[in-house]
């Protein structure tokens, strides 16, 4: 029986980073994967989707070419885009596995099953570990009355597993982030998109109403508007798919992308045998230190309740490994993990919203700076959006922030790195490149300080 200090189950972003961090801290480490190395994010999620999103944003600039002195126009080819992301993912996966080898991490291919608190069976081969990290991710879920039909009714995982189905008429079903992003991407690649969702996709409490309004307007301008309805059933034939709606009527398309949520992968892991418990929704139950009911076993990422993002999984990997090295040292703090939406308008946020700040006993103050007069944004024809900061009116403590507009997913990292107690002062005293989008953080901080009489706390 092979013995390790740490065994990680699952090779997605959380599992991969956990294995890397454990190895870098001198732990004898193994990582187990039963399917394709890299998990959903690398193979069927955020990595290939960002590849397509970049192309979609290039296509979105077609109407600015002529006045910028650029001749010609771009057209999208989704089949070739699929090939491009496929080659890119292969390259990343090769680099990923090579790095694990160079760190001395043992890679075990097979299905892992817990035997007890420190033992796993990997396809009949037993391994022992002082600590185990479960990072088994999630899988798409479809309504009970709708089933996958190859090349006709698919979910987001299948969209990247095989070349894109033929046909120009596409229905996107769902109101979450996956639907919001793919409805836009597919439209920019020239598809006729019918977006069907049971609930208003812009009624989100994690982003501000202003951010949701900017997203709504951007999608409308791109020709994407949600149709509020529920799909009663779906009929697939060799010619296409007919979706029957509960409101009456039907929608005929060539294929359907189901973006109706994801559920944790926790079945078949032998959790009961080890004493690991799950909540009623099937997520592995953990404490504030990401420790399960069994002290030697941790769980991170999508298999734990919380935002299903690679960002959270990566952050929690560091928390879990840190607590293996020094027990109870780090706690789970989801609000410190950035969230982003990559659609007609890019959105990103971190920290507390105004409502969350009030619930936590703070008196929120806000600062705002729009990109409409930013020289950098004007020079790029990307003036939609703004920077918005939230601080405590009494102490000046930085609580959170939001970026709406181009490069929001990159810009948000500056806010994520700010010290809470001194964040506004840090922004006010930072030297920024000019012209840049990031200097709007400084403008927002100065506006906030002046408006809410915090000049002494920010500039003193």
- Taking a C-beta distance cutoff of 8 angstroms, is the pair 29, 8 a contact? yes
Residue of 61, 244, 335, 434 with catalytic role: 434
Alpha-carbon distance of 194 to 150, in angstroms, equals: 19
- Written as one string, the DSSP assignment of 304-348 is SSS---HHHHHHHHHHHHHHHHSTT-----GGGS-EEE-SSS-EE
Report the chain's C-alpha Rg in angstroms. Answer: 24
The Cα diameter of the chain in Å comes to: 71
Alpha-carbon distance of 162 to 168, in angstroms, equals: 17
Catalytic annotation present for 434: yes
- Taking a C-beta distance cutoff of 8 angstroms, is the pair 157, 140 a contact? yes
Cα–Cα distances in angstroms (integers) from residue 12 to residues 43, 228, 233, 267, 338, in the given order:
9, 34, 33, 17, 18
Beta bridge partners of 297: 132
Angle at 30 between CA 27 and CA 34, to 5 degrees: 160
Q: Which DSSP category does 280 fall into?
A: T
- Taking a C-beta distance cutoff of 8 angstroms, is the pair 459, 449 a contact? yes
Distance from the Cα of residue 396 to its chain's centroid: 30
Number of Cβ within a 10 Å radius of residue 252: 13
- Taking a C-beta distance cutoff of 8 angstroms, is the pair 156, 259 a contact? yes
Q: Which DSSP category does 249 fall into?
A: -
First to last CA, the chain: 62
Q: Where are the alpha helices (DSSP H) in 103-208?
A: 156-161, 177-188
Which residue has 């009116």 as its token pair?
393
Classified as helix, coil or strand, 86 is helix
Q: Is 312 left (phi over 0), alpha (psi -120 to 50) or beta?
A: alpha
Alpha-carbon distance of 1 to 126, in angstroms, equals: 6
- Taking a C-beta distance cutoff of 8 angstroms, is the pair 401, 423 a contact? no
Q: Which residues are catalytic?
A: 434
């Amino acid at each position: 029986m092979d013995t390790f200090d740490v065994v990680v189950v699952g090779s997605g972003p959380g599992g991969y980073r956990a294995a890397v961090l454990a190895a870098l801290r001198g732990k004898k480490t193994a990582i187990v994967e039963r399917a394709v190395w890299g998990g959903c994010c690398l193979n069927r999620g955020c990595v290939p989707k960002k590849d397509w999103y970049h192309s979609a944003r290039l296509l979105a600039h077609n109407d600015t070419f002529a006045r910028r002195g650029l001749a010609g126009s771009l057209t999208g080819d989704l089949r070739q885009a699929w090939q491009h992301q496929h080659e890119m993912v292969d390259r990343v996966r090769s680099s990923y596995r090579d790095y694990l080898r160079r760190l001395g991490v043992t890679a075990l291919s097979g299905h892992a099953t817990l035997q007890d608190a420190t033992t796993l069976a990997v396809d009949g081969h037993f391994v022992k570990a002082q600590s185990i990290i479960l990072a088994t991710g999630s899988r798409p879920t479809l309504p009970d009355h709708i089933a996958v039909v190859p090349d006709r009714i698919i979910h987001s995982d299948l969209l990247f597993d095989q070349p894109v189905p033929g046909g120009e008429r596409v229905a996107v079903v769902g109101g979450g982030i996956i639907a919001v992003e793919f409805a836009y991407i597919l439209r920019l690649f020239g598809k006729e998109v019918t977006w069907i969702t049971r609930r208003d996709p812009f009624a989100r409490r994690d982003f501000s109403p202003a951010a949701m309004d900017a997203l709504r307007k951007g999608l409308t301008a791109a020709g994407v508007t949600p149709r509020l309805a529920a799909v009663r059933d779906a009929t697939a034939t060799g010619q296409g798919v007919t979706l029957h709606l509960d409101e009456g009527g039907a929608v005929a398309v060539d294929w359907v992308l189901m973006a109706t949520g994801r559920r944790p992968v926790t079945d078949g892991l032998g959790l009961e045998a080890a004493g690991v418990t799950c909540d009623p929704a099937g997520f592995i139950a953990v404490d504030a230190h990401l420790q399960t009911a069994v002290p030697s076993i941790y769980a991170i990422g999508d298999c734990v309740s919380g935002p299903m993002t690679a960002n959270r999984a990566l952050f929690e990997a560091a928390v879990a490994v840190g607590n293996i090295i020094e027990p109870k040292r780090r706690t789970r703090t989801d609000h410190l993990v950035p969230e982003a939406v990559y659609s007609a308008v890019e959105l990103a946020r971190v920290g507390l919203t105004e409502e969350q700040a009030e619930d936590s006993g703070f008196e929120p103050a806000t600062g705002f700076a729009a990109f409409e007069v930013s020289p950098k944004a004007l020079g790029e024809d990307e003036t939609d959006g703004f920077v918005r900061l939230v601080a405590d009116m009494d102490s000046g403590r930085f609580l959170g922030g939001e970026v709406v507009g181009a490069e929001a997913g990159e810009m948000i990292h500056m806010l994520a790195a700010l010290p809470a107690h001194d964040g506004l002062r840090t922004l006010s005293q930072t030297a920024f490149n000019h012209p840049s989008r990031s200097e709007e953080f400084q403008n927002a901080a100065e506006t906030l300080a002046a408006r809410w009489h915090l000049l002494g706390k920010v500039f003193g």
